[in-house]
Amino acid sequence: SFNRLKGITWSAHKLCGEDFHQSGLVLGIYANEKEEGPPQFTDAGDAFDRCVSGKLRELLSISGPLLKKGKTRIFHGLHQDFPSVVVVGLGKKSIGVSDQENWDEGKENIRAAVSVGCRQVQDLEIPCVEVDPCGDAQAAAEGAILGLYEYDEFKKRKKPVVTPQLHGSDGKEAWQKGTIYGEGQNLARHLMEAPANYITPIKFAELVEQKLKAAHSGVKIHIRSKSWIEEQQMGAFLSVAKGSEEPPVFLEIHYSGSANTNDPPLVLVGKGVTFDSGGISLKPSSGMDAMRADMGGAATVCSAIVTAATLNLPLNIIVLAPLCENMPSGRANKPGDVVRAKNGKTIQVDNTDAEGRLLLADALCYAHNFNARAIVNAATLTGAMDIALGSAATGVFTNSSWLWTHLYEASILTGDRVWRMPLFEHYTKQVTDCPLADLSNVGKYSRAGGACTAAAFLKEFVTISHWAHLDIAGVMSNKDEVPYLRKGMAGRPTRTLVEFATRLSQDNQSA
């Protein structure tokens, strides 16, 4: 469930003989490498079939065509301890990383198949499901945890709670890791999906604080108030916040996982606009409710540090999240206003709905105080990013090939992909050519290359040589594109950030 980040249990009983509670069972089956011939069970599937004297294989052969990738078939009454067995199609066994798709197809197939199988057990209202590790227990756990999650906090009629467990004893550690990864992304989904009147800036910070205290005792959390933000001279951030009755919060989190607490940290920065009306440059009313998730950057980086702390990653990590609402009022920013950022640069606010970059400008300046190994910021920044890539991948703008390589290789493993975008001087000129100030918060050619001009704007507040900006606007929500996520806010790319941090903790190269 959403609240469980620790205390994972596994089923390690022997299939035939040991006494245990009834549960559903999800088993994988591979497509034959050739077009003809019988399908191949996983090791767990083979063991179960032997336990039921070959009945599973027999029933599969007479119940319809060979199971295709992601398709399922349910059998009842085969085994007294498993009233319902769901067989899921995993596709071809030998499949791996696809150069065309930029992900590990085998892992993605497992996540998708397991999620479908677990949902079918949930539909049968069976409270526990044992999951075949399918040769990759981490991917199987992720598929189960992510596939079963649904935000239903305010509904009287809720889906039955189903607890997924590992079937058998192979891959316990990998299953635990996958469970923690999945729960981390579900935390981001929860924060993004919750209504904006429940996740205000202060409530966001308090919920993250609660999760961190449960995950790790050695995490330091600072919930900074408006007066602290004023002392830091974060004029760009404050200019956005002043239009709302909700006071701004600057959330600062320190996790010291490295053996040396003085090792340069990874600094993660997340845009935290808990509701974005657009301000005076008001958004259209249609679909505006989705702007409760405009704090997706803050949600994913905070969920990543909760997950890293739960995993005890040997890495120092700092998270910075400027949190506020962007609302129209008599005190709100007006188009044409000029504000001063923390580094002294002046910004002409030509469009109050390009507010995320104002928060990030000040947060990025502050991030330079920590002798960072690398700074990575995430933000649902531009509709242009959604137009460019849709929900296929997060757009990455970076000045560091070393950083890009780590992010890219992490995304291949998680299936939550990234794609590199340009940081050309061409775009910088469009934000620095400004009539009233040092910078304009929108490019002078309006809609052209909007994601790129936004990144060029942020680059004006970065002096470190390893920085990456992740524009996650396109991956903010899921309709049906990712089969192991239900419709709603996606919590992407939390798992990629965690895998990236894991890789960084194993890389001794100094940045």
Smallest Cα–Cα separation from 249: which of 199, 296, 215? 199
Q: Residue 144 gets which letter from DSSP?
A: H
The values of phi and psi at residue 450, to 5°, are -60, -40
Structure tokens at 237: 């951030």
**Rounded-to-integer distance, Cα 232 and Cα 65, Å:** 66
Tokens 């790129």 correspond to: 452
**Of 283, 420, 444, 503, which is the active-site residue?**
283
**Rounded-to-integer distance, Cα 294 and Cα 283, Å:** 13
**Of 107, 211, 342, 357, which is the active-site residue?**
357
How many beta carbons lie within 10 A of that of residue 63, not counting itself? 12
Q: Is 226 in the active site?
A: no
Contacts of residue 1, defined as CB under 8 A and 6 or more positions apart, other chains included, come to: 161, 163
Give the torsion sign (CA, 307, 309, 314, 318): positive
DSSP code per residue over 54-91: THHHHHHHHSSSPPPTT-EEEEEEEETTEEEEEEEEEE
The runs of H, that is alpha helices, within 289-440 are 296-310, 356-367, 383-389, 401-414, 425-432
Q: Helices (H), strands (E): how many in the chain?
A: 15, 22
Structure tokens at 184: 């981390």
Residues labelled catalytic: 283, 357
